């Protein structure tokens, strides 16, 4: 049963990830009173890319060809261990805890950066160095957030954190929790490359995530993009399920609530996508060095969560 649910979760994530990426673009364009691309456009792009041939720089090592598949595999692995549609651990749930999940995200990002450096392209190097400096600061903040959540639930297990927040309204409404939500939202913006951190254009100013796969083409590029969509989907799901709206996630294996939750999760993701679209249309991109101010503020929020716990003396 759990194995079946794991497969269902895998298919759900992998199939729906491009949909939400497309939804984001379309909603943004609609907010600008344009008609915007088709919601399913990302699927069409992926299919198109699969049909093309891949061109590889002659200097690149074999690592260059492996990297997209490696990152995609790591993201697939993460879909099996994170709470996406269930609040109880599935078959592979116990393999990594929250910190481990964060580390695997980091591993995938590292593979991407090494591949970018391997491609010997200027823009790829640019993107890799910028991404490295930003993530060297935002990764520790993620660990700090997980530690704060550990205070909340006593463990590092995302499923138990979800259960605690669902059942205990005291914890849900505590200052610790809301500071952690704020901090993680800001980290989410950094990790998924939304404004004000990164814009979607290909100008040199914004070449952070856009720059790294610039030498890829064909199926490898398709897997990079797909992996990016899956990463975005996973992070948004984690934000929704573990941090901000942990309700209605089934805590016990029962078929009907699960099917209901598939629909509810879809609605939650749509809501978050619309929030992202609104944010992207309202804010403008930061100058590169101001991103570090943003990250400092994120760190402040995460630390204030701990201070809030200390000052309120464990009460809420």
Partner 1 sequence: MLPAYGVTGFIIIVLGLFLQWQVYVSRIVFTFAASSIVIAVWFVYQGVVTDSFLPIVLAVLTAGVRGVLIPILIVRNLHVTPWRARENNPVMGTASSILLALALVIFSLWLFGWSIGRYVGATGMYAALPFAMLFQGAFLIISRRNAFIQMVGYLVIENAALLLGAWGFPQLPLVIEAAVVLDLLGIVVVARIIMRMREESISMDDRTAKAASAEELRG
**Pairwise CA distance, residues 180 & 218, whole Å:** 40
**Pairwise CA distance, residues 284 & 185, whole Å:** 17
Tell which positions 272-291 bind partner 1, by CB under 8 A.
290
Cβ-based nearer residue to partner 1, 32 or 315:
315
Cβ-based nearer residue to partner 1, 179 or 224:
179
Tell which positions 52-81 bind partner 1, by CB under 8 A.
none
**Pairwise CA distance, residues 300 & 10, whole Å:** 35
Question: Which x/- pattern over 228-267 shows residues binding partner 1 (rule: CB under 8 A)?
Answer: ----------------------------------------
Question: Which x/- pattern over 157-176 shows residues binding partner 1 (rule: CB under 8 A)?
Answer: ------------------x-
- Residue 300 binds to partner 1 (criterion: CB under 8 A): yes
Stretch binding partner 1 (CB under 8 A), from 71-79, 82-90, 202-210, 292-300: 292-300
Both tokens of residue 205?
């100013």
Stretch binding partner 1 (CB under 8 A), from 18-26, 144-152, 267-275, 303-311: 303-311
| Alpha-carbon separation of residue 22 from 17, 97, 142, 146, 208 (angstroms) | 9, 30, 27, 30, 20
Enumerate the H helices of 195-287 as residue ranges: 218-238, 255-282
Looking at residue 84, the DSSP 8-state letter turns out to be S
Q: Are 83 and 166 in contact (CB under 8 A)?
A: no
**Pairwise CA distance, residues 186 & 286, whole Å:** 14
Question: Which x/- pattern over 175-204 shows residues binding partner 1 (rule: CB under 8 A)?
Answer: x---x-------------------------
Q: Are 274 and 27 in contact (CB under 8 A)?
A: yes
Contact residues toward partner 1 (CB under 8 A) are: 175, 179, 290, 292-293, 295-297, 299-301, 303-304, 307-308, 310-313, 315-316
């Amino acid at each position: 049963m759990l194995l079946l649910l794991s497969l269902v979760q895998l298919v759900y994530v992998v199939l729906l990830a491009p949909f939400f990426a497309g939804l984001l673009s379309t909603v943004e364009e609609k907010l600008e009173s344009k008609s915007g691309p088709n919601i399913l456009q990302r699927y069409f792009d992926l299919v198109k890319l699969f049909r093309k041939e891949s061109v590889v720089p002659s200097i690149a090592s074999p690592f260059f060809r492996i990297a997209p598949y490696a990152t995609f595999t790591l993201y697939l692995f993460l879909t099996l261990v994170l709470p996406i549609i269930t609040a109880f651990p599935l078959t592979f749930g116990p393999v990594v805890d929250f910190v481990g999940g964060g580390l695997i995200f980091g591993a995938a990002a590292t593979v991407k950066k090494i591949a970018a450096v391997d491609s010997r392209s200027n823009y790829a190097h640019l993107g890799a160095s910028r991404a490295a400096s930003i993530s060297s600061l935002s990764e520790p903040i993620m660990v700090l957030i997980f530690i704060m959540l550990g205070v909340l639930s006593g463990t590092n297990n995302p499923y138990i954190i979800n259960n605690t927040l669902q059942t205990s309204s005291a914890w849900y409404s505590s200052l610790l929790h809301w500071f952690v939500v704020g901090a993680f939202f800001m980290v989410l913006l950094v990790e998924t490359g939304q404004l004000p951190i990164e814009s979607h254009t290909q100008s040199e100013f914004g070449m952070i995530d856009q720059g790294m796969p610039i030498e890829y083409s064909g199926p490898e590029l398709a897997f990079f993009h797909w992996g990016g969509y899956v990463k975005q989907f996973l992070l948004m799901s984690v934000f929704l399920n573990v941090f901000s709206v942990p309700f209605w996630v089934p805590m016990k294996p029962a078929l009907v609530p699960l099917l209901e939750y598939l629909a509810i999760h879809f609605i939650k993701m749509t809501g978050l996508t619309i929030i992202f679209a609104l944010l992207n249309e309202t804010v403008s991109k930061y100058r590169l060095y101001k991103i570090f101010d943003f990250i400092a503020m994120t760190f402040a929020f995460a630390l204030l969560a701990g201070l809030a716990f200390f000052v309120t003396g464990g009460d809420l």
